[in-house]
Chains A and B, each alone.
Chain A
Amino acid sequence: MRSEGKLLREAIIVHYYLGVDIGSVSSNFVLMDQYGNIREKVYLRTLGNPVKAIKEGFAQIKSRQGEQLDIRGVGTTGSGRHLADVLLGADVVKNEITAHAVAASALFPGVRTIIEIGGQDSKIIILKNGIVQDFAMNTVCAAGTGSFLDQQAARLNIAIEDFGDYAVRSRQGIRIAGRCGVFAESDMIHKQQMGYPAEDIIMGLCEALVRNYLNNVAKGKKIEEPIVFQGGVAANAGIKKAFEKVLNSQVQVPEPYEVMGAIGSAMLAQEQRAQSQAPGNYRGDDFILEGEFKSSSHECKGCPNLCEVVCIKRNQEILAYWGDRCKKWENSINRQDKLQVI
């Protein structure tokens, strides 16, 4: 009976929630149905052009589904979350910490520690009974993050996808300095010229990055099991192994590790839509697919701050301004909406 009920429910028209995570390196999209199933996930490189990435990501989801999608809510996160909001019309625009925590505690109830390493930033989130208790993000140095790994893989002429496998093959990692990306690189070059095998050097690098993370990001926070490791770098089996070795605990990597932020924001969008009576903000498929988006910037001469004001346009219509400290430009467009939200 139950399964029949479920089947019946699935036969009823489904509606969807879209989660978008625009990061420095990757742009991720998730299409979630109202039962919390992930129907579609897209992982793209941002390649310095978030507008294009958003458009392409959405187009991919749309073409794979091949039907009219009933999108009831949109959530955006990542450093490009405001841009994604303008282009798609988001119901929730949230920081990455919250998004990642929501997703991880939905997939791993009872999770205590989330290790998240992305392209430019890395964070640690400590939870208790499903509530975020404490978190930290890297501040000044990006040595332990995906960009650095990318760069080293390119230097060794190894595809980044295979980088982790190399590390795992190693029996004994070589000691590499982990405090600073520049030191790490010069150590690696030195060791490579001495003739150490590439596998051991890469494993050494993984261990160095883990030490860097624990010293700079985790900074003495109590890391307790269950531990979840997510973000783009979680693809690297070497880093996972190094974490397990250094922490002497088991580290779990969720299957959709690279789109956890997007999943979290889709869930937040669903939560928000369930609470609200107002119609959703989603601007519609055509808005994003058909429009020609252009951004331009100019220096505002209103005061000595000389803010660089960015203007986002769709065809000829101005969608948003930002970048001005006094909010003169920003408020010229969205002031009414803002007041309504409050």
Chain B
Amino acid sequence: MKVTFPHMGNAHIPIKALLKGLKLEVIPPPPVSKKTMELGVKYSPEFACLPLKVNMGNFIEAIEAGADTIVMAGGWGPCRFGYYAQVERDILKNLNYDFRMVILEAPDSRLSDLLKQVKSLGENVSLWEAWKAIKFAWYKLNAVEKLERHFEYYLPRVVDKDKVEKIFDDGLKNIDQADERKEVHDFTNICLKKMQEQPCHNQPVLRIGLVGEIYTILEPVTNYHVARYMGRLNAEVTRSIYMSDWVNDHLLGGWIKKSRHAEIINCASPYLNYWVGGHGRETVGYTVDFARKQYDGVVQIGPLTCMPEIVAQSVLGKVSEREGIPCMTMYFDEHSGETGIYTRLEAFIDMLQRKSYLQSSFSTPIGVDNKFVL
């Protein structure tokens, strides 16, 4: 059995560790590229959202590389994601691919269910070995996230942005290849140390909250690397969603570490009091949370036609006004012209920079004399 799974940012590193721990041969799809997009768009329904198209591309490329089993997450609720696994399976069957699809349904708060599902995936693994695999994957996931958070912190601050990107990418590669806990630990620390050693500038750094749909946030290819782009413009980006929080809240029932989920849901009130599917309510809640933490602005992202995010967007105007935080929404679909995206981001960052510059220097520009200080 050769197992594959869809890409979602750096999630492939812990997922690969998990499946390997279950003594499975893993064939991860090649990194999401233009070819992946082309394949996905070609074989997906036109009105489906971008994540499904990227998944399709991933699966086709992985099957062509020799995979015969696909592991895919299931779901339920108003978001279309709940149907993805089934739709994707049917499309691939119609294309005459020979494969087996295993759909992991989110057990929501029953850890034993997850353990059982994971164990049934493996071949001849004991419950103990399954447990060990989960633990190692969790360890890797946390190491990856540690790098991500440090990268988010250092990218806007260092002088040589290319260098720090390279350090980060290399660090991820090393963690991916490590087989022992000790190795993961060492590689993480080496990478962090290198990042810390980079010379920093002393220009002001903005803080931006990135909220929205989970896949678009976690998979940088689908959001055209907005986080890196803003980082390069000296803005520190904090995401609303980190993979470990999601696993903790939704798969492990908040069992493994302290969860802020309930607090965030509370923040969403009174703006959005209902669960609208996907991460709609979290988007609103985190926007409020970022505003109260004195962030400079919030960028909401999602795939085009994403229903939960559209609902959240319609509420964000009010949130922005009452909580006093500038918000901008961007939807992504397959397009290759990045200029439009970067123009909007640059304008947003520019606006915030000028605003904070003026607030800090206490000058009020009035009239023509101050026309250059917008």
> Does A97 sit at the interface, judged by CB under 8 A?
yes
Q: B30 to chain A: which residues have CB within 8 Å? A: 304
State whether B34 touches A97 (Cβ < 8 A): no
* Nearest B residue (CB) for A77: B343
Check A305/B33 contact, CB under 8 A, given A102-B371, A130-B366, A267-B371: yes
State whether B372 touches A102 (Cβ < 8 A): yes
Residue among A131, A270, A303, A307 making CB contact with B355, cutoff 8 Å: A131
State whether B364 touches A129 (Cβ < 8 A): yes
Residue among B160, B347, B364, B368 making CB contact with A95, cutoff 8 Å: B347
> Does B45 sit at the interface, judged by CB under 8 A?
no
Residues 19-38 of chain B: 1 if any A CB is under 8 Å from the residue's CB, otherwise 0?
Answer: 00000000000110111100
| Bound-state Cα–Cα, A23 to B363, Å | 34
| Bound-state Cα–Cα, A221 to B317, Å | 8
State whether A342 touches B201 (Cβ < 8 A): yes
Q: B35 to chain A: which residues have CB within 8 Å? A: 304-306
State whether A98 touches B347 (Cβ < 8 A): yes
Check A109/B34 contact, CB under 8 A, given A131-B354, A131-B374: no
Residues 338-374 of chain B: 1 if any A CB is under 8 Å from the residue's CB, otherwise 0?
Answer: 0110011011101100110010000011111011111
State whether A342 touches B366 (Cβ < 8 A): no
Q: A102 to chain B: which residues have CB within 8 Å? A: 371-372, 374
> Does A311 sit at the interface, judged by CB under 8 A?
no
Residues of B in contact with A, size category: 35 or more
Residue among B162, B331, B370 making CB contact with A130, cutoff 8 Å: B370
State whether A95 touches B346 (Cβ < 8 A): yes
Q: B373 to chain A: which residues have CB within 8 Å? A: 130
Question: How many residue-residue contacts, CB under 8 A, span A and B?
Answer: 103
Q: A270 to chain B: which residues have CB within 8 Å? A: 372
State whether B304 touches A98 (Cβ < 8 A): no
State whether B33 touches A109 (Cβ < 8 A): no
Q: B370 to chain A: which residues have CB within 8 Å? A: 130
Q: A221 to chain B: which residues have CB within 8 Å? A: 317
Check A95/B350 contact, CB under 8 A, given A109-B371, A140-B304, A306-B34: yes
State whether A135 touches B371 (Cβ < 8 A): no
> Does B159 sit at the interface, judged by CB under 8 A?
yes
Q: B304 to chain A: which residues have CB within 8 Å? A: 140
Shortest C-beta distance, A137 to chain B (Å), equals 6
Residues 124-149 of chain A: 1 if any B CB is under 8 Å from the residue's CB, otherwise 0?
Answer: 00000111111101011000000000
Q: Which of A101, A130, A268 has the most CB of B within 10 A?
A: A130
Check A135/B34 contact, CB under 8 A, given A79-B339, A98-B374, A130-B365: no
Residues 246-290 of chain A: 1 if any B CB is under 8 Å from the residue's CB, otherwise 0?
Answer: 000000000000000000000110110010000000000000000
Shortest C-beta distance, B209 to chain A (Å), equals 17
State whether B351 touches A97 (Cβ < 8 A): yes
| Bound-state Cα–Cα, A300 to B24, Å | 35
State whether B326 touches A134 (Cβ < 8 A): yes
| Bound-state Cα–Cα, A257 to B162, Å | 40
State whether B368 touches A109 (Cβ < 8 A): yes
State whether B347 touches A106 (Cβ < 8 A): no
Q: B161 to chain A: which residues have CB within 8 Å? A: 342
> Does A2 sit at the interface, judged by CB under 8 A?
no
Check A303/B33 contact, CB under 8 A, given A79-B343, A96-B343, A133-B326: yes
State whether B343 touches A95 (Cβ < 8 A): yes
Shortest C-beta distance, B299 to chain A (Å), equals 13
Residues 316-348 of chain B: 1 if any A CB is under 8 Å from the residue's CB, otherwise 0?
Answer: 010010000010001100000001100110111
Check A97/B347 contact, CB under 8 A, given A133-B326, A304-B30, A304-B34: yes
| Bound-state Cα–Cα, A80 to B330, Å | 21
Q: B162 to chain A: which residues have CB within 8 Å? A: 327, 331, 335
State whether B368 touches A106 (Cβ < 8 A): yes
Q: A139 to chain B: which residues have CB within 8 Å? A: 330-331
Q: B330 to chain A: which residues have CB within 8 Å? A: 139
State whether A106 touches B371 (Cβ < 8 A): yes
Shortest C-beta distance, B314 to chain A (Å), equals 9
Residue among A36, A94, A327 making CB contact with B350, cutoff 8 Å: A94
Shortest C-beta distance, A23 to chain B (Å), equals 12
| Bound-state Cα–Cα, A304 to B65, Å | 14
> Does A220 sit at the interface, judged by CB under 8 A?
yes
Shortest C-beta distance, B204 to chain A (Å), equals 14
State whether A339 touches B371 (Cβ < 8 A): no
| Bound-state Cα–Cα, A304 to B7, Å | 15
Q: A304 to chain B: which residues have CB within 8 Å? A: 30-31, 33-36
Which residues of B from 62 to 92 have beta carbons under 8 Å from A?
none
| Bound-state Cα–Cα, A90 to B304, Å | 35
Which residues of A from 56 to 95 have beta carbons under 8 Å from B?
79, 94-95
| Bound-state Cα–Cα, A179 to B351, Å | 30
Q: B371 to chain A: which residues have CB within 8 Å? A: 36, 102, 105-106, 109, 130, 267
* Nearest A residue (CB) for B30: A304
Q: B355 to chain A: which residues have CB within 8 Å? A: 131-132
* Nearest B residue (CB) for A108: B368
Q: Write 28 A-B pairs (CB below 8 A) sorted by A numbering.
A: A36-B371, A97-B343, A98-B350, A98-B374, A101-B374, A102-B372, A106-B371, A109-B367, A129-B365, A129-B366, A130-B366, A130-B370, A130-B374, A131-B351, A131-B374, A132-B374, A135-B347, A135-B348, A137-B343, A137-B344, A267-B371, A268-B372, A304-B34, A304-B35, A304-B36, A327-B162, A342-B161, A342-B201
For the A-B complex with A106-B371, A131-B351, A132-B374 known, give 9 more contacts whose Cβ atoms are closer than 8 Å: A109-B366, A110-B366, A130-B371, A131-B358, A220-B317, A274-B372, A304-B30, A305-B34, A339-B160
Using a CB–CB cutoff of 8 Å, the interface residues on chain A facing chain B are: 36, 79, 94-98, 101-102, 105-106, 109-110, 121, 129-135, 137, 139-140, 219-221, 267-268, 270-271, 274, 303-307, 327, 331, 335, 339, 342
Using a CB–CB cutoff of 8 Å, the interface residues on chain B facing chain A are: 30-31, 33-36, 159-162, 201, 304, 317, 320, 326, 330-331, 339-340, 343-344, 346-348, 350-351, 354-355, 358, 364-368, 370-374
